[in-house]
Amino acid sequence: MPKTIETLSPEAGRTDTAGLARYDANALARCAVDAAQPWWRRNACAQALTGRVPEQRVAELIACVQDADDAGSVRIALLDLLADRPELLPWLRHEDRLKESAYGMTEAVLKARGTLGDRTAAAALATLAFSPWRHRRAIGEAGLDELTAGYGTEALLAALGTDRPEDRAVAVRLRHRAGEDVTAALADPDRGVAYLAQTLQSDPERLRRYLGEAPTEEAKVWAAYALHRLTGDTAETHRLYEALGRPRVEVPGLDEEVRAAIVHEYGHECAERSDPRWRIEALCTEPPAGRDPAEWLSRATTALTAAGLAPQPPVSCGDVHRQGDGTYDVIGYGESGGEVHISTLGHFAAEENDDPAVRRALESAGFRWIDQAVGSIEVTGLGVYYFGRRDPLDVHTLLFYWQD
């Protein structure tokens, strides 16, 4: 029985890619623009046309790309396919492209402009390349690489300038690629640029020399952090930490017990634009003493039972939300459906209504109650991913953290 597009792509996730790649290009193009076909089959057909787009079908394919009412993923797949067509450039550069609502379309348009050598897209591509989202960053970098290949590094950097941090980040990346020393960028006033510069360091001796001449404390901390990344020499990192005066971000009201729990949970993997002093503190200070979470949950349940609060079995926050994970367990109690949260980061407990009976019971069992005054303290300079953002969070959110 002869193969058809339908048998080669019978359902989402089941595509015979090699089979479609050998299939008649005209038929694939017709399917790709057929709105009656499911989006996933149309995408597969578009991808199967790579390198063999029938010239007589180009106008239809372009019309599909430009149809704002068509499926966004199909338009993006076709735009990737046709990104080298110069007749698309006026449409790509039109101000209406800024109003595109299909997810990923704005990035795809910029990528195509880069492929077509449109230097007017350089600033927007630089912004995209500076995104905290890796897939957006990759698209921005790819577009900039196309422009660099067409016009050269110096011409691109001259067009961008140095006023914006994203433009300086492009310079750091391209200078490093050309074999230049970008250590000085550890002192950039934007932490995103400085973070990028430290990821590109590869010479421990160069970093040791720079430590003696770095113009700011943050630059020294970035250098020490990069040095540790390269050598893993904990003893040297501790010596540098002491020599720098144990740099840390002071947060009013944040006591050492809560601080240690937060530092060692989040400091190592904090967001790129975080203050580097959180990173070095996580490397050079002792983590809280180990504890058995099951034992503390049992202790909480026993205390609540003794207080007559009828606790239910503990449930992890991930199970409560039916997805994700975090840093606390939930114990329901009482007929009114109250919930108390028990942190996995230490003997910390909290309850939305600050129930005095629950608080007394748990404090008597050795828990520390996190009330509104402590819970609302913002831990400045420490960016933590939280529902799409990477901003500083308050103590309560960090001790009782959940992410889907």
pLDDT for 383: 98
Report the Cα 182 to chain-centroid distance in Å.
24
Residues 340 and 351: beta-carbon distance below 8 Å: yes
> Which tokens belong to 396?
């309560």
Residue in the structure block whose two tokens are 């003696």: 212
Spans of the chain, pLDDT less than 50: none
For residue 275, the 8-state DSSP code is -
Give the whole-angstrom CA distance, residue 277 versus residue 248: 5
Structural element, H or E, at residue 23:
none
Give the per-residue pLDDT at 73.
96
Could you give the CA distance from residue 79 to residue 103 in angstroms, rounded to a whole number? 14
How far is CA 372 from its chain centroid?
29
Q: What is the DSSP letter of 267?
A: S
Among 250, 248, 220, smallest CA distance to 377 is for 250
DSSP at 14: B
CA distance between the termini of the chain: 46
Residue 1 is classified by DSSP as -
Show the CA angle centred on residue 206, arms to residues 144 and 224, nearest 5°. 90
Question: According to DSSP H, which parts of 54-199 are helical?
Answer: 58-65, 72-81, 89-93, 105-115, 122-129, 134-151, 153-160, 165-177, 191-199
**Residue 120 C-alpha from the chain's centroid:** 27
Structural tokens at position 361: 């019971």
Q: What is the pTM of this model?
A: 0.89
Rounded to 5 degrees, φ, ψ at 392 are -60, 140
The contacts found for 90-95 with CB under 8 angstroms, 24 or more apart, are 91/66, 92/116, 92/118, 93/118, 93/120, 93/121
| Cβ neighbours for 85, distance < 8 A, ≥ 6 positions apart | 58, 62
Quick one: angle between helices 58-65 and 25-32, nearest 10? 20
- In angstroms, the CA 162 to CA 199 distance is 20
Burial 302-330 (b: 16+ CB within 10 A, else e): ebbeebebebeebebbbebeeeeebbbbb
Tokens of 260: 């240690």
User: What confidence score (pLDDT) does residue 1 get?
Assistant: 55
Measure the CA–CA gap between 247 and 324, rounded to whole angstroms: 34
Tokens of 96: 């209406």
Position 353 scores a pLDDT of 86
